[in-house]
Structure 1
């Protein structure tokens, strides 16, 4: 039917929301506060308006990260690689404005909760080039004290680096059948 917006996502199993549930949610929304949700001020690498939420991330300054207990630090990662590699971007924002904001993000740490993966070609879908953004962001710096040794890689202090490697063809890999 022409002029009707239709979701590009698969049907979600289950019953549609009942009117009584919708009324209850509306009533509770007038009583409960949504302060944390209303403080969201931007989205990064986000798909279309009808997209599913793929994750939530807490982002803190380097200074706040350094005050966390060592056991907690293991659950966080620096944003230096995500920003400088070009794979983190703000859809629809002009490059210079985006880079100004991402310069700040590059110095932060995040703790992310993923619900599922994005399943489409992000570069093509948003008309961005990770290679071009990588070049445009090469000047940026990460945390002032360097990446903390307990962050990244489950507390192993790993630094993510983009590199190309030759992979052996699948036929050369030994196979084990059980």
Structure 2
């Protein structure tokens, strides 16, 4: 009986994710342009022809597995006033592990800003103390309504958020398009998520809500009944003044990245 119940629950979850995919395709995107224009000359006719041929011939299995779309907000670890919207395209690798490609928009010209790895509380507790300080919790993003899954039915989004509320994310941005960087220059940056009211700039929420025709306060109210446990005190380390960020040191034959 337990196995049948587990199979039914798993099937129900997969159907919800399937509905999320269908609704995302229908009405959950193509309303947010990239922050920067692509530098360089226009693609040649030959390049376009090669792309068209490759699109038909080549297998893209890894990309096709990124089938859930989340929209939220990040800030640079150590600088909470440097905030931006982040469009996540997510693949669930297991019941405890997700990976996401982060874009600065959801249109075809969107730029890849970075990546995020998402793990459950169970996996987070297996990490050493120093590693935990690189991660942020998702409890506030979920409960506040600032993290959304555009275009999917409220019930499907609610159940998805139930799974995400107790997870943790490790996020690194490599292209700082929010600073109107035309190219992916500069050091990679560790990002953090918001943890309480008053931190996220209201204009970012208003602009996002208008584009997606949603209400963050309404989503917050809908999620009041989502339960969540405690947040590990080593996560969101920036709140206690423990900032971790990349430093690039020039050496004779290499560039070494290390944490402060």
8 Å contact 1:73–1:150 — kept in the other structure? yes
What is the CA-CA distance between 1:90 and the residue it aligns to? 0.7
What secondary structure, in the 3-state scheme, does the structure 2 residue paired with 1:57 have?
strand
| Equivalent residue in structure 1 for 2:237, among 117, 135, 153 | 153
- Which residue in the other structure is 1:16 paired with? 42
**If the length of structure 1 is used for normalisation, what is the TM-score?**
0.66
Once the two structures are superposed, residues 17-75 of structure 1 have per-residue CA deviations (whole angstroms, 9 ceiling, x without a partner) of: 45469859x5xx959x763x443231111444333334421111111111112111101
Q: 1:20 to 1:48 in 2, by over 3 A?
A: closer
Structure 1 position 102 matched with structure 2 position 161: yes
Residue 85 in structure 1 maps to residue 144 in structure 2? yes
Q: How does 1:50-89 map to 2 (within 5 A)?
A: 50=108, 51-89=110-148
Q: 1:39 to 1:126 in 2, by over 3 A?
A: same
Give the structure-2-normalised TM-score.
0.47
**Are the aligned partners of 1:151 and 1:157 in contact in 2 as well (CA < 8 Å)?**
no
Q: 2:107 aligns with which of 41, 49, 52?
A: 49
Backbone CA RMSD of aligned residues: 3.5
Of the two structures, which has the highest relative contact order with CA contacts closer than 8 Å and spacing of 6 or more? Answer: 1
* Between structures 1 and 2, the one with greater strand share: 2
Match of 2:212 among 113, 126, 130: 126
- CA spacing shift, 1:52–1:85, aligned 2, 3 Å: same
Which has more radius of gyration? 1
| Distance in 2 separating the partners of 1:121 and 1:64 | 35
Distance 1:68 1:14, change over 3 A: same
Counterpart contact for 2:137–2:169, Cα < 8 Å: yes
1:80/1:15 Cα in 2 relative to 1: closer, same or farther (>3 Å)? same
Unmatched tracts of structure 1, length 5 or more: 1-6, 159-178
Give deviations 1:88-130, integer Å, cap 9, x for gaps.
Answer: 0011111121011111010111011234449781010001111
The count of corresponding residues between Structure 1 and Structure 2 is 147
